[in-house]
Each structure stands twice: as C-alpha cells, then as structure tokens.
A = this chain, B = another copy of it.
Amino acid sequence: MSHNLLLLLHLFIFLSLSITSSLSSPSPADSHPYLWPLPVEFSSGNDTLSVDPAVTLIVAGNGGGSPIVRAAFERYMGIIFKHVSSRASLLAKIRFLRMVEYDYDITSLKIIVHSDSEELQLGVDESYTLMVSKKNEQSVVGAATIEANTVYGALRGLETFSQLCAFDYLTKSVQIYKAPWYIQDKPRFKYRGLLVDTSRHYLPIDVIKQIIESMAFAKLNVLHWHIVDEQSFPLETPTYPNLWKGAYSRWERYTVEDASEIVRFAKMRGINVMAEVDVPGHAESWGTGYPDLWPSLSCREPLDVTKNFTFDVISGILTDMRKIFPFELFHLGGDEVNTDCWKNTTHVKEWLEGRNFTTKDAYKYFVLRAQQIAISKNWTPVNWEETFSSFGKYLDPRTVVQNWLVSDICQKAVAKGFRCIFSNQGYWYLDHLDVQWDTVYNTEPLNGIEDPSLQKLVIGGEVCMWGETADTSVVLQTIWPRAAAAAERMWSTREAVSKGNITLTVLPRLHYFRCLLNNRGVPAAPVDNWYARRPPSGPGSCYAQ
C-alpha cells in the first residue's frame, strides 16, 4: 500500500462516525452483513449505500489490467446482481448510454493491484484493503476501492465486497449496509487446503470446478488433488500411456488437457492445485496398465520396490505432471504402507536380503528415492506423517509433513525443522460424518506449538474429503458447511476465532454463509446436523437449520 493512501485511510477511519471493534459479534437480530471468514481488521458505520447495477470497473496499478481481475469482476457482478430485474438491467444500460442520470451511491469499483506478477505460489500475497463509502465531504476516499499487492489479493477483496452487497427486496436494489466500511485483511496461514479424492470415485470436471468455485467463496487456496489410489488411475500420463487403463471405465478419466483446464480454472480463482501420487502404498491400480509394477498377482501393493522400472514409471508420471501442475508442492503420499506381502514375495524377499534391508528400510528407500525424483523436477515434496514418524531424520529437509493420524505430529515435525500441514482425521477429515461444525472450528493447528519461529513452520491446514462414500451426488454437501469452519480458523486471526461463545458469535454467521453458498448454487448442508450432509429434519428456514 502506498504511503499516501495509508494516510488517507487513517483520516478516513478517524472521520468514520461509528467504529466497531474488529470482533464485534453480530447478533441474530442484527443480521447483515455477515462476513465469512472474518477479516483481520474492519470498521463499519451506519450508512446504507445503493450499488449501481451498471457499476464500472476502474483498474489501476501495474497488475490492475490483468484478465484475472477482469474475469473475477464479471463473475462477482453476476453473483451480486443476480436478483436485479431485467428492468433494472435495462435502466442500467440506458444510464450507461448517458441518457439518464441515476442516483446510486456506488457507481464504480476501483481495483488497484500493485504487482504485475501473476505467479501463484505458496505464500503469495493475498492481503487487500477494501473501502466502501459515500462520496461526500466527510469521506475523502469515495465509492468502493480494493487495493492489493497481487491479483490474488484483489480476488479476496472482491469476495469480501460481494459479501457486503445484499439484495434488498423492498427497493429491489443492491445495498451495502453499515457503510462506510474499511477492511484490512490478510490470511493467517498461507496454505489453506481442501483434499479431493478422484480415485475412490471419479469426479467429473464440472464437479471439480464446482468445488473450486465454492472454495474461493471461503478463501481456501489449495486444492489437494489426490488423483490416483489403489482403486483407480484416472489421469492420462503420456509417458506411460497404459496407466489410465486403471480407470474405472473408459469414461472416468482425465486427459492432460482436462487437468490443465482444472489448474487454469483454479488459478483464475487464486487457488493452487497440489497433485498427489501416493507411493508406494495406495497404488494397486497402476498395475492394471503395467502389471510389472505389482510384486506379484497376489501382492499388488506396495509397488515393487526392487525394480528400476517402478521408479522409471514414477519419474515418467512426474515428468508428465510437472507440465500440468506449476505449484511448487507435490504430494508423494507415503501413508499406510503395509509391507507384509513384500516379505511373502520371493524376488522381493531376496532383494531385501541381498541389501540386508528390513521391509521398513525398503519403505524408507522407496520414499526417499521418490522424493529425489520430485526434487529433481523442481518440486518440494510433501509426504503423509508416517514417513516422518518412521524415518524422519532421513527425509529431505525441504519435506512438508502432512498430519492426519497423530494429534501432535506437527509439533514434533516442526521441532525437527520440517514444515507441516495440519489435517488431523479426528477433526478435519470431512468423511468423518460425526464431526460437527464447532469441533472443526475449534481445532487449532498451532496447538501445543508456542515458539513463534516454530509456529511459522506450520504452513497451514487442510480439510480432507476422502471419496470412499462421497461421489458426485454427495461430495459438495459433505464438504460444506464444515470446510467453512476450518477456512475461517485458517484465515482469521487466532484471537478472533478463539474467544467468546461461538454459538453466539460464530454460528449465526456460519448459518448465513451456508445460505450464501446455497444462493450461489452450492448445496451446502444444514449447519445444525448432528451428522454431516444429513437432510433437514423438517420444514424451515435455511438460516435456522
């Protein structure tokens, strides 16, 4: 933010008649606007401003002209003005032709983006400032302005702006209540992920796009794509073209172009895609196309550790994937490796004996060799926590450890200098249907880590939507609204999400956000379900279920 604008902002804040605390808890009666996730710092007033349906985009800064900004503006205008009548659109058009002058308070949205870099990597600057005020003598900064260092910060600001805009059914116009607004915001964690699993059930491209679109509404920023697993191998890998013979059917597949389109679609929404190839366990489906990857027909996973072919295939897959996935993190899995059948396979047993390896040594050997392949392709490896707990001191120091099993694994991993992603199954596995929203919300990734320098190694967290019993028909309602609870935990300040009676301070906003998702076509389930994705038990309002 430029120094001058900062000065103006301070003036602006000073002049605002009513400044609420950044933690003012909305009461159910005082029901608008509700923001989700809660911005770091905000103040509001008592004005109600009308927004012109023909609101124009004014861009500034080196990155303002980005097509990412323009496309996002168009998307959000579609969302904000959904209810505005065709008459209003007509009037807007007339106004645009300068034939009539209407009296809207907000007629333009100015988006200032300082950097022209559109690189989307871990830790990209997502901060933004959003100001909304009437043009008059009191406020020197008029209309609506989003200022950000990157286009991705601007996207977050647009989302917040869209949440300030409410359709008023009496005047049939879009209004912003409690203006002037001044919001300064940035995420607490740089990695805020959602895992989807396209191996247990294939998810069509349109459905993955629906998921990505919905993530942007909650300011999540990493789609962890668990592409393949033991059940199916849906992705095309040109170097080893038989691999996707392991798909469920000839239609349940992703071409390279499909995957690239998903990455492009996600980038337009400021979301990185982290691909996962889970080795050496969870890989039985690879052998459908290349049976040599199976130690034997009765031992189909873990992959055959003895053959160079196995690592050639991994290298080939990673070469192909590197062209699709620009994100610096790549997930190599490494979880739940049951090596029993290695011991029972003659040639593997001989290989182990020849190297004087236990099966655990062989597991380590496999994971470390796969890590080096990923690193050689300029990727930072991510592995599930078993790799750390089994042979942590041998892992490449760049490794990001992903928690799922043991509550304090991030604590242990960061103590050893590793970075960590929190996604404990007891709290943040979305396929655990008996975990309610408040448990998700109250789970703190930094628990037990006091040293600020160690806290920084927890790059964030992730909610995991494992696909065994979640296909296209139920995946979105299993994700939402609970993923939103984790999203606020990871975005907002720790103080903001950790104090007060959340039934009073958070639940009404979460109800509101769930209905916002519904209004945007996302089938988020009732908030007050005891079991996730259960339908409502009877008639009622979205805001009360």
Contact = CB atoms under 8 A, between A and B. Distances in A.
Interface of A: 82-88, 166-167, 169, 172, 199-202, 204-207, 210, 231-232, 236, 244, 248-253, 255-258, 260-261, 467-477, 515, 518-521, 523-526, 533, 535-545
B541 A257 contact: no
A169 B252 CA distance: 10
Contact of A250 (B169, B205, B206, B542): B169
A472 B542 contact: yes
Contact of A477 (B473, B526, B545): B473
20 contacts: A86-B257, A86-B260, A87-B257, A88-B257, A172-B257, A248-B541, A248-B542, A248-B543, A469-B537, A469-B538, A471-B518, A471-B535, A472-B542, A473-B518, A473-B523, A473-B524, A473-B535, A474-B477, A474-B533, A475-B523
Contact of A518 (B204, B231, B533): B204
Contacts of A169: 236, 244, 250-251, 253, 255
A519 B249 CA distance: 14
A91 to B, nearest CB: 12
A253 to B, nearest CB: 5
A524 to B, nearest CB: 6
- Interface-centre pick from A84, A167, A541 (highest chain B CB count, 10 A): A541
Nearest to A467: B539
A205 B78 CA distance: 13
Copy count, this protein chain = 2
Nearest to A202: B542
Contact of A538 (B87, B468, B476): B468
Nearest to A84: B257
A231 B523 CA distance: 21
Contacts of A201: 536, 539-540, 542
Contact of A83 (B166, B205, B540, B544): B205
A329 to B, nearest CB: 25
A59 to B, nearest CB: 26
Contact of A471 (B88, B249, B526): B526
A443 to B, nearest CB: 23
A536 B255 contact: no
Contacts of A236: 169
A210 B521 CA distance: 8
Given A87-B257, A469-B536, 13 more contacts: A167-B251, A169-B236, A169-B251, A169-B253, A169-B255, A172-B257, A201-B542, A204-B521, A249-B543, A470-B535, A471-B518, A472-B523, A533-B535
Nearest to A197: B539
Contacts of A477: 473-474
Contact of A523 (B86, B255, B523, B544): B523
Contacts of A256: 85
Nearest to A261: B86
Contacts of A167: 251
A249 B172 CA distance: 16
A170 to B, nearest CB: 8
A464 to B, nearest CB: 16
A248 B540 CA distance: 7
Among A172, A248, A472, A473, chain B packs the most CB atoms within 10 A around the CB of A473
Nearest to A533: B473
Contacts of A543: 248-249, 251-252
